[in-house]
Amino acid sequence: MKNKINNLQKNFYFQNLVDEDKTSLNNSHSLFNTRANFVFKIFFLVFLIILLKLFYLGLNKSNEINFEDSIIDKDYNQRKDIYDRANLLIAKNIDIYDLVLKVDKTNNLPELLIKLKSQFPGLNVNEIQRESVDKKRLVLKKKLDHIEYKKAIMLGEPAIELSRRQVRIYPQRNLFSHVLGQTDEDNKGVSGIENYFNNQILNNKFSQSSFQISLDTLIQSQIRDSLEKAIEDYSAKGAASLLMNVNSGEILSLVSLPDFDINRRTLVNDEKYLNKITLGVYELGSVFKTFTIANALELKLIDENTLFKNLEKQVYNCGTSQPIDEHDKNLKRDLTTSEILVKSSNIGTIKIIEKIGIENYKNFLTKLGIFEKTSIELPEKGKSLPMKWDNCTLATASYGHGVSTTPIQLASAYATLVNGGYKIYPTLVKQGQNTKKERVISEETSKKMVKMLRKVVDKDDPMQGTAKKADIGGYGVIGKTGTAIKASKTSKGYSKEVMTVFVSAYPEEKPEYLLLVMIDEPKVIPSKGLYRSDSGWNAVPTAGTIIKRIGPILASKNYNIAFNAK
């Protein structure tokens, strides 16, 4: 009985313990549920707040930090890319950004200016505050670089705007400064090709099409380097060069030094930066003797072997006190037509032009285009100065004194003389394969001139001409030198400075390329072995250097273009 009671007692105790454990467990579970519910409600509330905030921001886009919304496109003129004849990019439009403050969109301008100053230390905060009184929109900084662009975006300010526009860049910088020209802030051409072809290059509807010119970047670079070296070697004021196909008129290179970086978009008013090839107007000296002789040959007044006997050592033209001398005091008194050209005789050339007469010579130079503006597609073009023609001026004009023209017109006239007699029109646009040409002098005269011009350069010719230093083996170079005293800028007379020029072409068998080289005010430098400033001492060797450097390039690219005569 007692055991039974003990068992019952034990069961009773166990039952109570179980009941107590169950009660404790139920209480703990209830407490857990209460805490979980509390935490859940907290998370739910936070989530609801975030959701409401996002919804609010969606309804109020002005408060949204979105860099795309801070970029505003400014109206601009899209321009086509420009490529050289070898399809190398030489001009392109790119996007740039200006930092703009929208004054009417800020609630706390002083605070915003502090933030701006921290990111853009160069800003003048005081000036911005003054201008903000009258203006609702201020351009704070133009042409942000990559780092500045990111700083502006990271500000995340609704009152800050990035104004996107386009600007023209020129990867070669100075290399084509006198050809490509420049554009203004509105991306419109203001000079050079950019101006002349502005309508063709403008492309408001945007397409992938491009604009191509006839120049070659590699050749341009080689020639420019050679001219810079010449300026250094001869302590010259400047230099210039033109390389042109004598059949098509295509210009492969046009360099004028000093030049300038066209990416800077600054006004270039200094005369030293003018385009010497197309805009400069000069008296170019003895290179005109070629025209005098060609005119006489064309009129059948002389031939290349006509002998002029007993030539004076000097003549007094129209009773002037200043005599006309030979540049070489040792010239023979008897000279043939060829010798007059090869030895560059002033007196012999005067005797030839006396046979020609004023009207014939004027007409001949007119046919060659000496007095007209060049056809080249640039707005910067010069024109021959007016000249009073009489027997006195005719004599000096025979050797290039008193008659002026631009170097590009001189080159065009020489191209006519050596290409078989066809007039050409210089161009910066690649031509077709069937360019038509008009004959202005006979083929016979052209062949005779080529033969005589070769003697001027041929170092093995017994006559020993004035351009031997340009006789580069294997090229058959022909040409004529010229040294002209420059007109004075302060008086009506002439200065002591000279402009030297050498016009060459090659090969002799069938000329294809014409190279004109000018050196502006070269100096006599005895320490360097330079005892004279004549063309043969500077322009000629410079041309020889250029031909050596560009000859292989031209041969490999085969830029010769055929044409049909009419």
Is the pLDDT at 287 greater than 60? The verdict is yes
**Domain membership flag for residue 368:** yes
**Domain membership flag for residue 41:** no
Distances (CA, A) of 348 to 174, 314, 343, 352, 415: 44, 10, 10, 6, 24
Amino acid at 159: A
279 in the same domain as 196: no
**Range with top average pLDDT, 151-165, 196-210, 303-317:** 303-317
Ramachandran area for residue 557 (φ above 0: left; ψ -120 to 50: alpha; else beta): alpha
pLDDT of residue 319: 62
- Output b/e per residue, 273-296; b: 16+ Cβ within 10 A: bbbbbbbbbbbbbbbbbbbbbbbb
The answer to whether 213 and 430 are in contact (CB under 8 A) is yes
Is the pLDDT at 506 greater than 80? The verdict is yes
Is the pLDDT at 352 greater than 60? The verdict is yes
334 in the same domain as 255: yes
What whole-number distance in Å separates Cα of residue 518 and Cα of residue 531?
19
Q: What whole-number percentage of the chain has pLDDT above 90?
A: 46
**Domain membership flag for residue 462:** yes
Report which of 433, 427, 379, 384 is spatially closest to residue 560, judged by C-alpha positions: 433
Both tokens assigned to 417:
């003389």
Pairing verdict, β 210-212 and 81-83: parallel
The answer to whether 208 and 92 are in contact (CB under 8 A) is no
248 in the same domain as 177: no
What whole-number distance in Å separates Cα of residue 10 and Cα of residue 12?
5
Distances (CA, A) of 467 to 136, 144, 233, 556: 69, 54, 18, 27
**Domain membership flag for residue 93:** yes
pLDDT of 360-405, one tens digit each?
A: 999 999 999 999 999 999 999 999 988 889 888 899 899 998 899 9
As for how many domains the chain has, the answer is 2
pLDDT of 131-144, one tens digit each?
A: 777 888 878 888 77
Sheet containing 251-257: order of strands: 251-257, 238-245, 513-520, 494-506, 478-487
Is the pLDDT at 507 greater than 70? The verdict is yes
290 in the same domain as 207: no
Q: Which of 212, 245, 263 is the last residue of a domain?
A: 212
The strand ranges marked E within 178-270 are 210-212, 238-245, 251-257
Is the pLDDT at 65 greater than 60? The verdict is no
Report which of 436, 421, 407 is spatially closest to residue 503, judged by C-alpha positions: 407
Q: Which of 150, 182, 212 is the last residue of a domain?
A: 212
More confident residue, 209 or 309: 309
More confident residue, 435 or 316: 316
Is the pLDDT at 3 greater than 50? The verdict is no
pLDDT band (50, 70, 90) for residue 179? very high
**Domain membership flag for residue 20:** no
231 in the same domain as 189: no
pLDDT of residue 11: 40
What CATH code is carried by the domain that includes residue 402?
A: 3.40.710.10
**Domain membership flag for residue 27:** no
273 in the same domain as 137: no
Q: Which of 159, 187, 212 is the last residue of a domain?
A: 212
By residue range, what is the domain housing residue 337? 219-565
Averaged pLDDT, 178-195:
87
What CATH code is carried by the domain that includes residue 103?
A: 3.90.1310.10
pLDDT of residue 77: 62
pLDDT of residue 20: 47
Q: Which of 69-78, 80-89, 96-105 has the lowest mean pLDDT?
A: 69-78
396 in the same domain as 318: yes
pLDDT of residue 374: 92
Residue 221, classified by CB atoms within 10 Å of its CB into exposed (0-12), middle (13-18) or buried (19+), is middle
Averaged pLDDT, 471-498:
85
Distances (CA, A) of 536 to 234, 244, 523: 12, 22, 13
235 in the same domain as 197: no
142 in the same domain as 281: no
pLDDT of residue 539: 96
What whole-number distance in Å separates Cα of residue 517 and Cα of residue 482?
10
What whole-number distance in Å separates Cα of residue 401 and Cα of residue 392?
11
Averaged pLDDT, 454-462:
93
The answer to whether 563 and 247 are in contact (CB under 8 A) is yes
Pairing verdict, β 513-520 and 238-245: antiparallel
**Domain membership flag for residue 197:** yes
What whole-number distance in Å separates Cα of residue 78 and Cα of residue 186?
10
What whole-number distance in Å separates Cα of residue 472 and Cα of residue 542?
12
Both tokens assigned to 310:
């007993």
Mean pLDDT of the chain: 83
Both tokens assigned to 186:
């509105």
196 in the same domain as 153: yes
pLDDT of 225-259, one tens digit each?
A: 999 999 999 999 999 999 999 999 999 999 999 99
291 in the same domain as 150: no
Both tokens assigned to 564:
């049909």
390 in the same domain as 281: yes
pLDDT of residue 208: 54
- Is it true that the peptide bond before 407 is cis, omega within 30 degrees of 0? no
DSSP bridge pairs for 564: 436
Strand (E) or helix (H) holding 128: helix 125-132
**Domain membership flag for residue 423:** yes
More confident residue, 45 or 554: 554
